[in-house]
A and B are shown apart, each in its own frame.
Chain A
Amino acid sequence: MDHAIWTEGLVKRFGETTALDGVDLVVRTGTVLGLLGPNGAGKTTAVRVLSTLLKPDAGRATVGGYDVVREAHQVRQLVGLTGQYAAVDEMLTGTENLLLIGRLLGTPRTQAKQRARELLSDFGLSDAADRAVKTYSGGMRRRLDLAASLVGRPPMLYLDEPTTGLDPRARAELWRLIRSLVAGGVTVLLTTQYLDEADELADEIVVIDHGRVIASGTPDELKAKTGSQTLAVRPEDELQLPVVTAVVGELAQVTPEVNGQLVTAPVTDPAVLPAVVRRLDDAGVVVTELALRSSSLNEVFLSLTGHAADEDEQTEGELA
C-alpha cells in the first residue's frame, strides 16, 4: 500500500451549498491524479481541504498517512500548493519571494539563496530574478508560483488549475515543467477544467460534478467510456436529418444529439469518419459540415451524466 493521498466520504458545506458531497479519492505515490470538473464542481474545495486550509464537515482525509485535521502541521510539511491565482508577493522580486518561503521553512540564508537561484534558472526566470513581480507577465507569475511551491522540495504537489487563463505557449511550457517534476518522483494532485490537460498529464482521472465523483479511471478507460472524439454532421437539407441521425447512430452505436440541424455523437474509432462519408454518399445526402474533433469537457459530461456541465453556477472562488 502506498497511498500518498487518501480520502473517505469527504463533505464540505458552505451555508446552503454542498461543495463536497462524500468524495473518496486515492492517489498512489509517484503518480498524477487529475481532478476534472467544471467550475463549482468542488475541485478547489477538495484541494483546500487536502492542504489543511479548510476543515471538512465530515469524512476523513490523510496525506502521507497524516490526518489533515489532527496532524495538519505534518501535512503542511509534505505538500507544495499552487493555487488558481498566482499567490506571489507582487511587491517583492522573484528572488525575494523564493527566499521568503525558504527562510520560513527554516533554511539557512545562503542555502535559501542558492535554492532560489536554482529554481529561477530551472523556470526560465533568471533574467527577471531581481525585478518586482508586478512587472511579470501572467505566464511568468504562474511559473514563479510553481517555483515557490517547490522551494522545500515537497514530495507532494497540488496544482489547482495551473494553466487557467494562460496562452497556449505558456500552457505548453508549464506542462513540460510539470512532466519533469513527475519524472523526479513527485506525487501530483492536479485539478483542471480541460480534458486535454488531464489527458496529457494524469495517470488517473477522477471526474467530479456537484461535489460528487461521477467517474474515474485512466485517461484511456475514460475515453473508451465517453468517446474521445465527437463526430459532427450537418446535412444541407433539413428533411434528411432522420437519415443522418440513423446513420450516425448506427456507426457510433449511441443515440446522437441533434442540435438544430447539427447531429453529434461521441466516437472512439476514427475509422467511423470514412464509413460515415460512404454511407451518406450512398444515401445521396449532401452535407455542409462534417468533422471529427476532440470531445470538450461538456461532451464528456453529457455522456457521463446526461446533463451539460453547469457553467453559470457560482464559482468555487466565491464560495471559498
Chain B
Amino acid sequence: MTAVTVTAPTAPELSPRVSPLEGLRQTLTLAWRTIVQVRHNPWELGDFSIQPIMFVLLFTYVFGGAIAGSTGEYLTYALPGIIVMNMLFVTMYVGTGLNTDLTKGVFDRLRSLPIARWAPMAGRIMADQVKQAWSIFLLLAVGMILGFRIGTNVVSLLGAVLLMLVFALAFSWLSVLVGVLAKDPEHVQLFGFTVLFPVTFVSNVFVPAESMPGWLQSFVNVNPVSVLADACRGLMLTGAEAAPIMQSLAWAAAITAVFAPLSVWAFKRRV
C-alpha cells in the first residue's frame, strides 16, 4: 500500500502512546465516574453505609451482653473486626462494577478509546479505596457515638486504616477475578455472600477464638480475617503488635501474588 491520507479534521500527527501522567488523569476520571454512580444508586450507598451500622447495632445490643457481659465491653472488642469484615464486603463492588461493564459493553467502549490500558481497572480500584475510607470513617464515628474509645493514639489509628486499605487493595484482585469469571453481576454478589460470610464469621471478629472447639480454633487462628482483626484491635486498643501486622501484610502479599496473575489471565481470555 502506498501513501494513505486521512481527511481528518483532527490533528494529523497522532501521538503513539499514552503518557503516564495522562493515564493517571484518565484513572481519576474513571474513579470519578464510579463515585458518581453511587449518587444515582442510593442502594449501593446503603449497602456500604447502613448495612454495617446495622451490624454494629445488632451485635452490640442483641448479642453483646451475652457474649462479653456488657454491651460497652463487647463494642470495644467487636468494632475493629466489624470494620475489617465490612471492608471485605465492600471490595466486592470492584467485581460487580467490572462485571457490569463487561456484560453491558461499556468496557469495550472504554477499550476502544485512546486511553491507558490499565486506567479502567485502576480507576475502579481507586474508587474502591475511597468507598473503603468512607466506610471505615463512618463505622468509627458510629462506634464513637455508641461509646467506642481509641485506646492508643492517632498515629496507630491511621496505621490501622492504612493496613486495612492495603489489605483491601490485595483482596480487590480476588474480586476482579470473580468479576471477570462471573456470568452476570448477581453472581458476583452471590459469591460475596457464600464465601465471605463463612470466612468472616469463622474468625475472631465476633467472638474470641478461645471460646470455640479446638479443631475450629486452628482454622480461626490462621484465617486472614482473624489476623487482620487482631492487628487492628492492637493498633486501635492496646498498642501495635508486630506479629499480626506482619502476618496481615504477608497475607496481603500472598493474595496479590496468587490472584493478580490469575485475574490478568482470566481478563485476557474474556476480552
Contact = CB atoms under 8 A, between A and B. Distances in A.
Interface of A: 1-4, 6, 29-30, 48, 51-53, 62, 64-66, 71, 73-74, 76-79, 81, 83-93, 96, 100-101, 103-106, 132, 134, 148-149, 152-155, 185
Given A78-B6, A101-B113, A185-B9, 12 more contacts: A1-B1, A6-B1, A29-B7, A51-B112, A53-B111, A73-B16, A73-B114, A77-B14, A91-B37, A96-B33, A132-B40, A155-B10
Nearest to A72: B114
Interface in B90-120: 104-106, 108-115, 119
Contacts of A4: 6
B105 A3 contact: no
A183 to B, nearest CB: 14
A73 B18 contact: yes
Contact of A74 (B2, B16, B37): B16
Interface stretch (B22-30, B55-63, B74-82, B176-184): B22-30
B78 to A, nearest CB: 33
B148 to A, nearest CB: 34
A78 B14 contact: yes
Report whether over half of chain A's contact residues are helix, strand or loop; otherwise say mixed: loop
Contact of B271 (A53, A92, A185): A53
A5 to B, nearest CB: 10
B246 interface: no
Contact of A53 (B16, B30, B108): B108
Interface in B1-47: 1-10, 14-18, 22, 25-26, 29-30, 32-33, 36-37, 40-41
Given A79-B112, A89-B37, A96-B33, A73 B15 contact: yes
B112 A81 contact: yes
A62 to B, nearest CB: 7
Contact of B33 (A66, A76, A92): A92
A185 B115 CA distance: 25
Q: 8 closest A-B pairs (Cβ-Cβ)?
A: A65-B4, A87-B105, A155-B8, A91-B37, A76-B114, A64-B6, A87-B109, A74-B14
Contacts of A105: 113-114
B19 to A, nearest CB: 11
Contacts of B14: 66, 73-74, 77-78
6 contacts: A30-B7, A65-B6, A81-B112, A88-B109, A92-B40, A185-B7
A124 to B, nearest CB: 21
Given A74-B16, A104-B26, A153 B36 contact: no
A85 B16 contact: no
Given A77-B10, A78-B8, A89 B114 contact: no
Nearest to A185: B7
A163 B90 CA distance: 38
A286 B110 CA distance: 61
A109 to B, nearest CB: 10
A64 B12 CA distance: 10
Contacts of A153: 9-10
A77 B5 CA distance: 15
B112 to A, nearest CB: 4
B122 to A, nearest CB: 13
B1 A2 contact: no
Given A83-B108, A106-B22, A92 B36 contact: yes
A79 B108 CA distance: 13
Nearest to A48: B108
B40 A93 contact: yes
A77 to B, nearest CB: 4
A297 to B, nearest CB: 24
A152 B16 CA distance: 17
